[in-house]
Amino acid sequence: MAETQELQLQIMVKEAKDAESNEASVAGQATVQHSRAYQRWIRIALHIFFVLSGQAAATLLGRQYYDKGGNSKWLATLVQLVGFPVLLPYYCLPPPKISDTSSNETAPPPSFLVLASVYFSLGLLIAADCFLYSVGLLYLPVSTYSLICASQLAFNSFFSFFLNKQKFTPFIINSLVLLTISSTLLVFQSDSENPTGLSKVKYIIGFICTVGASAGFGLVLSLTQLTFQKVLKKETFTVIMDMIVYTSLVASCATMVGLLVSKEFKSLKTEMGAYKLGKISYVMNLVWTAICWQVFNIGATGLIFETSSLFSNAISVLGLPLVPILAVVFFHDKMGGIKVIAMLLALWGFLSFLYQQYLDDYESKNEKRKADEVVQASDGSQ
């Protein structure tokens, strides 16, 4: 009898220890998951800061280049791309992982030919897109230019629907409609709201080029996300750097060809000498524009990794209303009634999109919590 009681006591002690061990394991896993989530949101916040600050500064510097005597569209395009060498020292740092991708680590790496084709195609598309942006910024007030760029979220949503299986909800549709109306309103501005003094024809050319550039940017983001998912299949710091550096290299080479073929390079020396702020300011404007665009590229590409191309574009659109406000201060752009309405519609469209992201995140957390509860209940029954 005593032996039986002692045996039962040992079994109870063992079960208690196993239960404590399981609880400790679950607690440890929860701590690790919480730490990873915390680090992920720190990275997302950092990328958002890069996108907002880099985009606003680069756009204003690009407008200053034109306002103070610059006139080369190909040079303005080149500075958007050629700053990638400042990122090369990052290859010397230990490459931290962006997220847990153990399931993808066993996947065979893509061949050199596939990678070269991807980087070459995206690079050419980026070069064409940046050139359209340069033409738009030349022929439009910076405030109008920035508000039209808000349409890139609508284009990105359209391409994401086909390429990235993006779901359309009422809030997403509302966002796309508002952003489209916001950009379309700017066509009806009066000549008095065009402080650049350009003809209506050039204004329309600038408008069409900016809309085309916004469509191209949305396509680039969707294709970049598709490349990460289907070709690269890795989420590491090195992959981000490779995507930025190699596509920028291809785009820079293509832009250099355009600069040479157009023969705009012949007038650059004269342009520098006639620059209203002086030669040093001319060079510094180009250098800092290049650096700011690379800051933006790091942030935008990082957000694609951490979230999606659509979210990355939404953050970019969030920063666009900052530019018209700053343009009023630095370039004395007029903020007429149509621009104010367009800005409010763009903000409304962004908030509608952001609310849908919140609902998706909330639903995802609920599903994960229910799954964890099922697992714990299953463990408890055993």
Q: Which residues of 261-283 are buried (b: 16+ CB within 10 A; e: fewer)?
A: eeebeeebeebbeebeeeeeebe
Q: Which long-range contacts (CB under 8 A, 24 or more apart) does 169-176 make?
A: 169/356, 169/359, 171/352, 171/353, 171/355, 171/356, 171/359, 172/352, 172/353, 172/356, 174/349, 174/352, 175/349, 175/350, 175/352, 175/353, 175/356, 176/349
Structure tokens at 298: 């790091």
The C-alpha atoms of residue 200 and residue 210 are separated, in whole angstroms, by 15
pTM (predicted TM-score): 0.75
Q: Choose among 240, 191, 189, 182: nearest CA to 211.
A: 182
Instruction: State the DSSP string of 277-332.
Output: T-HHHHHHHHHHHHHHHHHHHHHHHHHHHHS-HHHHHHHHHHHTTHHHHHHHHHT-
How far apart are the C-alpha atoms of 70 and 244, rounded to whole Å? Answer: 27
Whether 108 and 178 have beta carbons less than 8 Å apart is answered as no
Report the C-alpha gap between 173 and 175 in whole angstroms: 5
Whether residue 65 contacts residue 139, with contact meaning beta carbons closer than 8 Å, is answered with: no
Cα 227-228-231 angle, rounded to 5 deg: 55
Q: What is the C-alpha separation between 127 and 318, in angstroms, rounded?
A: 24
Per-residue pLDDT of the chain (382 residues; tens, 9 = 90+): 556 666 566 666 566 565 555 555 555 555 656 667 678 788 888 988 998 889 889 988 998 999 899 999 999 999 999 998 988 887 776 655 544 444 455 567 788 899 999 999 999 999 999 999 999 999 988 778 877 887 787 787 788 888 877 777 888 788 778 877 776 776 665 544 554 556 788 888 999 999 999 999 889 988 988 888 888 877 677 787 888 899 999 999 999 999 999 999 999 999 999 999 999 999 999 999 999 998 988 888 788 777 776 677 777 777 766 777 777 777 676 777 777 787 788 788 778 877 887 787 778 777 777 776 776 666 665 5
Rg from Cα positions in the chain: 26
